[in-house]
Amino acid sequence: MFLPLCPVDVRVLDAAKGRAAIRDMLNQPTRLLVMASRARSAELSLTPFLTALQGDGHAIQLYSDIPANPSVGDVAALLSRLRELAFEPTAILAIGGGSCIDLGKAAAALYHLLRKPDEAAVREAIQSRAYERPHPFVDLLAMPTTAGTGSEVTRWATIWDAQNRRKLSVDHAQGFPRAAVLIPEWTAGMPAALTLSTGLDALSHAMEAYWAAARNPLSQEMALLAAAKACAALPAALAAPGDLDARREMCMASLLAGLAFSQTRTAACHSISYPLTMLRGVPHGFAVALTLSSVMRRNARAVPEMERLEAVFEEAEGFDAWIEQAARGIQPLRLEAFGVTQADLPGIAKLTFTAGRMDNNPIVFTQDEVLEILRENL
């Protein structure tokens, strides 16, 4: 178990109270880097909020170049921009989905470490875990706008290395945000495909935390509760996007799943997903969810308590029926739907063995078994 369970000051509030909470948390004048995409800033009408923060005495620098699946180059671009502006942040406020929060985490870890943050330096610092050297991390606060990744309550950030076709992690005990404010109504504007993808990501975190080799009774109870909430709330949020009760339940599902897998890490489904996202651009939540059923069936041999997880989906006539119904009319959950062909599968299978993920599965898969799983989901 990775302790502490949750060092993050987490609050689930409406928009007005959520903005007020952030202002209260930032109770001393700061040089505040605010990270939010232009689209998100417009959608959430952030200008009055940022103006209020300035009125509180904070020096604000807005950074809007927020990519999906941030890369080593994206981290270098952000850090280099701060150097160009001679803006030394004392706090970072990340307003967005998991990609925004992960980019903020990487910046928080590396800003004081790298004086010349070009792409090579960033790659080396992450690969060598240079961020483990004693040095200050920048204070980070998160306001998630998806439900989701659970990044607001984990210690790591996913950063992609396109040059070497692999997924990297910034992973440190200081990587947790200091605080996180979840505002369910901020997730109501997500398109159906994003609601589905991020919701399946939360569910995947719950399911993999439940059966991970590193599982424990506490992580399993949190994972079961998260899965049950997602099972009920995700279809409701898709059917009625403005249903704030469903949106709140999905925020809670994401939060609980984040707490669960912060104790266990993820396993084979995530490991298999990484080359699908890197090579074929499959959105992360879909890339992970594609193999959940195949992996769950195999893992049941090694996880006697799997029946409790399977029971979550009984009213929907099982997990397969549930996920098919949830995705219907939004996104076919087959590899072919993302342009993956039979000929691609052997090359993908070779790249699925990420240390700390594949070996955290309760059953050890061979490359041939991974290939079989991929073929089942073509």
Q: Which phi and psi (to 5°) does residue 9 adopt?
A: -75, 100
Give the model confidence (pLDDT) of 93-107 as tens digits. Answer: 999 999 999 999 999
d(CA 56, CA 162): 40
Question: How far apart are the C-alpha atoms of 85 and 70, rounded to whole Å?
Answer: 21
Task: Write the pLDDT tens digit of every residue in 324-335.
Answer: 999 999 999 999
pLDDT at 5: 80
Say what the pLDDT of residue 371 is: 98
**Rounded distance between C-alpha atoms, residue 203 and residue 132, angstroms:** 31
> pTM for the complete prediction?
0.95
**pLDDT at 3 > cutoff 70:** no
The strand ranges marked E within 176-261 are: 179-182
Report how far apart, in Å, the C-alpha atoms of 164 and of each of 63, 72, 123, 167, 351 are: 27, 11, 10, 9, 11
What does the DSSP 8-state code read for residue 44? T
Residue whose tokens read 């080799």: 213
At 359 the pLDDT is: 95
Q: Report how far apart, in Å, the C-alpha atoms of 211 and of each of 232, 266, 357, 363 are.
A: 21, 9, 12, 10
Of 35, 295, 277, the closest CA to residue 151 belongs to: 35
The domain segmentation of the chain, as residue ranges, is 9-185, 191-376
Q: How far apart are CA 149 and CA 254, in angstroms?
A: 6
pLDDT in tens, 247-292: 999 999 999 999 999 999 999 999 999 999 999 999 999 999 999 9
For residues 7-18, give the mean pLDDT: 97
Q: How far is it, in rounded angstroms, from Cα 264 to Cα 260?
A: 7
Check: CATH 3.40.50.720 for 9-185?
A: no
Matching fold, domains 9-185 and 191-376: no
State the average pLDDT for the chain: 96
Task: Say which residue the tokens 């910034």 belong to.
Answer: 170
2: pLDDT strictly greater than 80: no
Answer whether CATH 1.20.1090.10 is correct for domain 191-376.
yes
- How far is residue 9's CA from residue 3's CA, in Å, rounded to a whole number? 15
Is a pLDDT exceeding 70 seen at residue 154?
Answer: yes
How many angstroms separate the CA atoms of 375 and 334, rounded?
10
pLDDT of residue 66: 97
CB-facing half-sphere around the CA of 327: CA atoms within 13 A: 18
pLDDT of residue 4: 64
Residues 58/29, Cβ–Cβ less than 8 Å: yes
User: Could you tell me if 211 and 184 are in contact, meaning their C-beta atoms sit under 8 angstroms apart?
Assistant: no
Q: Which of 196-213 are b and which e, b meaning 16 or more Cβ less than 10 Å from the residue's Cβ?
A: bbbbbbbbbbbbbbbbbb
Residues 6+ apart with CB under 8 A from 14: 183, 184, 185
Judged against a pLDDT cut of 90, whether residue 370 lies above it is answered with: yes
Q: What are phi and psi of 22, to 5 degrees?
A: -60, -40
CA pair distance 206, 219, nearest whole angstrom: 9
CB distance 251 to 182 below 8 Å: yes
CA atoms of 48 and 37, how far apart (whole Å)? 16
Q: Name the strand (E) or helix (H) holding 232.
A: helix 217-239
Taking only the tens place, the pLDDT of each residue in 181-210 is: 999 999 999 999 999 999 999 999 999 999
For residue 1, what pLDDT band results from cuts at 50, 70 and 90? very low
Nearest to 58 by CA among 156, 141, 127: 141
pLDDT tens per residue, range 310-356: 999 999 999 999 999 999 999 999 999 999 999 999 999 999 998 88
* Average pLDDT of the segment spanning 113-125: 96
Pairing of strands 59-63, 91-96: unpaired
